[in-house]
Amino acid sequence: MKIDASHPQRGAALLVVLVFAALVSNLAMVAMRTTLSGAVAATVFLDEMRADELGRDATRLLAQQLQSDDPQARRGGSFTARLPFSEIAVDYVSEAARIDVNTAPPKLLAALFTAAGAGRDVAQGLTVRIERLRGAGTARPAATDSSPPAAVKALTRTGLVRTEQIIDAWGLPPALYRAVQPALTVSNKTAKVDPVLASALVVTALMDGDEDRTQGFLERRAIGFFSADDALAQLPSSTRQYAGFAPTRAVRAVAEVIVAKRFRRSYEFVMTVPEAAATEPRVLSWQPLLR
């Protein structure tokens, strides 16, 4: 734009108007972006709230599933609930698939540690410590055993309530705990584990670390066993005492929630299995999984 030099005041005024117009335009753009960002943030917040609500609803849906008369439904399964503008997919399995840190035999736990990569001397040292903590066995603790007295007392009195407590109570290396954590629970409540439901790591422990036998068992399991005795016969005689096929009184589930086809989140929870149809299942734990 050409400014007439013969009218300097008019040109200066026009320049001020142009600068002001540009400033107003920039402010309008900033305001629009702020409004848009606020709208997006509000949508995400509402989606998160709705997802958490649906994650809670998943526990009620599973409760209905567990109250059926089908015994297989109490061992594990999956289902999907499609709701208006949302979806809930639930996969669950009996806690018999995991080794209970409070009730499993120390030798089974040692086999699990070895299967996860711990040296046999480390596994043996942990076995001695576990026996000491439980007050079972007559083996004297090694000179390096330094279990915290407070942990000893707490374990003797009430037992562990979270699997991560074994890091301090047993002196378990954190890296080893991370390796075995998916195979552990406090909700099995028995001294046995179900090899038909268990992870490959647990099966390896039951196979005394024999990878070939583990692979053979997993391949056979994928086809299907004729009976519990058929599955039991595939295990070494030394570990058959650790296998059990009765469903425990709890299941662990993972629910994946999708809201409006744009927001996805998963939740993990543990529920009791009702002993009778009139008994309501109880949620033992519930938590969103890390995204």
* 93 band by pLDDT with thresholds 50, 70 and 90: very high
Q: Tokens for 36?
A: 């848009």
pLDDT (0 to 100) of residue 138: 42
Gap between the terminal Cα atoms of the chain: 55
Across 15-24, 115-124, 237-246, least confident range: 15-24
pLDDT in tens, 127-178: 999 998 888 444 444 544 554 555 455 554 568 999 999 999 999 999 999 9
In this structure, which CATH number among 3.30.1300.30, 1.10.10.1100, 3.30.70.1900, 2.90.10.10 belongs to the domain 40-96+247-288? 3.30.1300.30
Averaged pLDDT of the chain:
84
- Exposure letters 64-96 (e unless 16+ CB within 10 A, then b): ebbbeeeeebbbbbeeeeeeeebbbbbebbbbb
Across 38-47, 73-82, 265-274, 275-284, least confident range: 38-47
| CATH 3.30.1300.30 placement within the chain | 40-96+247-288
